[in-house]
Amino acid sequence: MLFSSVTFLYWFFIVVIALYFIAPMPKGSTAIRNAVLLVTSLVFYAWGEPVYVLLMLAQCVSGWFFGLLIDKFRGKPTSKVFLVASLVVGFGGLMVFKYSDFFIGAINSVSGAGFDLWKLALPLGISFYTFQILSYTIDLYRGNAKLQRNLLTFSTYVVLFPPLIAGPIIRYTDIEKELKSRTHSVEQFSKGAFRFVIGLGKKVLIANVLGELAEICRNSSEQSVLFAWLYAVAYALHIYFDFSGYSDMAIGMGHIFGFKFLENFNYPYISKSITEFWRRWHISLSTWFRDYVYIPLGGNRVKPLRQVFNILVVWFLTGFWHGAGWNFILWGGYFGVLLLLEKFVFGNFLKKLPSVISHVYVMLIVIISWVFFDGYTLSASVATLSQMFGIGATSLAGNESLYYLRSYAVPLILGVIGCTPIVKFAAVKLRDRFVTFSVAAQPLITAGALILVTAYLVDGSFNPFIYFRF
């Protein structure tokens, strides 16, 4: 069930909100409301994954049980054994359901064997809830998190539906206090609803439209340079508004239910280095790998050669986390090498460049990366990149590419402006200048945007979500 669907907006979400706020909070206890969120989150998951909900519940129980054992044997070698066991179970699920066919295919290619692929369906959100469970057991072992003895409370943390399918990746320590006690107010509800609708608008009105353009370009027979660039730019904007829009919706729903989820995007397309880009893009994933892989490997506290190894390991895993394909591994390695070059070769030189030049450098690198990211085969990605730079292209521009450039000019311009802080800056200025008007205007803007999005959803059919692939 997509957040950007009429079923979710006008049935599921409304029912959940009603049940949640009807549920009492005796003496400030959130237990009953946690139960509402747990049950409705399981319904949300089972809506599309009726069988795999059992897998998610099994992972919840195993994470909770290993947590009990890690805490019970704290300070003893046995505690580490149970930590390792939790890692094996968590990553084991990922390996079986997400990567089994990749490894079988690799074995078949190398050895000539003819092992049958398992062709298992990818469980919804498994990459996200696995990392959430493991962050709990690791933090518990390190002494950075307190033991959660209540299985229902722990399960609520894991299966909470707003961040389940697309993040941000929530750590137990982020919402530990709010699972026990949280406050609600009209102001917080309004803030959450506004943030949710902003994310919904980004997803439906910009990401879907530009995703449609990227799909048209991808399937066109015209081999012009313009069409290749039109595809690459449209896809770069599409993936940003698609993913950040979902994060905005999750954060907004968190506010509604009394949770404060951390930001996941901070205008990454205004970055002036690849290092800065990855501090702004999918922040929860970048910090997860930093805290649970890079730093334990030694981080920056080791000799340069070991730093190189650590960075390459992190970026191999980052690419592989996104998908079981060589294009994702290449994509991760591509960024790993660039980050190494910035760190050890031309990072200082980059800082001295005019902002315009460094920004163009980042956008060129990132747009190229998305071509590999989107490509289902390496050969298709290489062909598109070649066409972008005139190799194999039949012309600079054709009638079809010029037609679609004109047709989608408005959403492209809105996308370019929207991925910068310009809109937010202008909104803050107007709010500060017209305080009374802005207070009254926010609910009107929320309602108006919701009506516009609904009209588009009822009339349109193109409503994919990229991160369902991962």
- pLDDT at residue 462 greater than cutoff 70: no
- Same-domain status, 31 and 123: yes
- pLDDT at residue 375 greater than cutoff 80: no
Average pLDDT over residues 97-116: 92
| Within a domain: 1 | no
- Mark whether 282 is an active-site residue: no
- pLDDT at residue 439 greater than cutoff 70: no
| Within a domain: 317 | yes
User: pLDDT tens-digit profile of 261-276?
Assistant: 999 999 999 999 999 9
- Domain hosting residue 371, numbered range: 188-469
- pLDDT at residue 49 greater than cutoff 90: no
Let me know the angle formed at the C-alpha of 463 by 369 and 406, rounded to the nearest 5 degrees: 70
Residue from 443, 369, 361, 432 nearest 192 by CA: 443
The domain boundary, picked from 153, 182, 211, lies at: 182
User: pLDDT tens-digit profile of 276-327?
Assistant: 999 999 999 999 999 999 999 999 999 999 999 999 999 999 999 998 888 8
- Same-domain status, 224 and 265: yes
d(CA 276, CA 261): 22
Listing DSSP states for 1-55 in one string gives: --TTSHHIIIIIHHHHHHHHHHS--GGG--HHHHHHHHHHHHHHHHHH-TTHHHH
- pLDDT at residue 203 greater than cutoff 90: yes
d(CA 134, CA 83): 9
- Same-domain status, 143 and 216: no
Domain count, the chain: 2
For 263, phi and psi rounded to 5 degrees?
-65, 150
d(CA 40, CA 53): 12
- Same-domain status, 199 and 289: yes
- CA-to-CA separations, 253 to 72, 80, 196, 205, 299, in angstroms, rounded: 35, 36, 6, 19, 35
Give strand pairing partners of 395. 224
d(CA 312, CA 290): 12
Average pLDDT over residues 76-95: 96
- Same-domain status, 44 and 160: yes
- Same-domain status, 416 and 436: yes
The domain boundary, picked from 133, 164, 182, lies at: 182
3-class SS of residue 253: helix
Average pLDDT over residues 128-141: 96
- Same-domain status, 284 and 371: yes
- Same-domain status, 165 and 236: no
Among positive and negative, which fits the CA dihedral 69, 72, 75, 78? negative
- Same-domain status, 214 and 309: yes
The domain boundary, picked from 159, 182, 205, lies at: 182
- Same-domain status, 18 and 150: yes
Average pLDDT over residues 343-352: 91
Out of 184, 238, 322, 359, the active site residue is 322
- pLDDT at residue 431 greater than cutoff 80: no
| Within a domain: 398 | yes
User: pLDDT tens-digit profile of 220-256?
Assistant: 888 999 999 999 999 999 999 999 999 999 999 999 9
| Within a domain: 198 | yes
Percent of the chain with pLDDT over 90: 77
- Same-domain status, 139 and 192: no
Give strand pairing partners of 224. 395
Say whether the peptide bond before residue 168 is cis (omega within 30 degrees of 0): yes
d(CA 190, CA 103): 48
Q: What is the DSSP letter of 395?
A: B
pLDDT-based confidence at 113, cuts 50/70/90? confident
- pLDDT at residue 1 greater than cutoff 90: no
- pLDDT at residue 470 greater than cutoff 80: no
How many beta carbons lie within 10 A of that of residue 6, not counting itself? 13
- Token look-up 């406050």 returns 183
Collect all residues with Cβ–Cβ distance below 8 Å to 120 and sequence separation of at least 6: 96, 97, 100, 101
- CA-to-CA separations, 55 to 49, 122, 227, 254, 461, in angstroms, rounded: 10, 11, 43, 25, 31
- Same-domain status, 163 and 306: no
Average pLDDT over residues 132-160: 96
For 32, phi and psi rounded to 5 degrees?
-70, -40
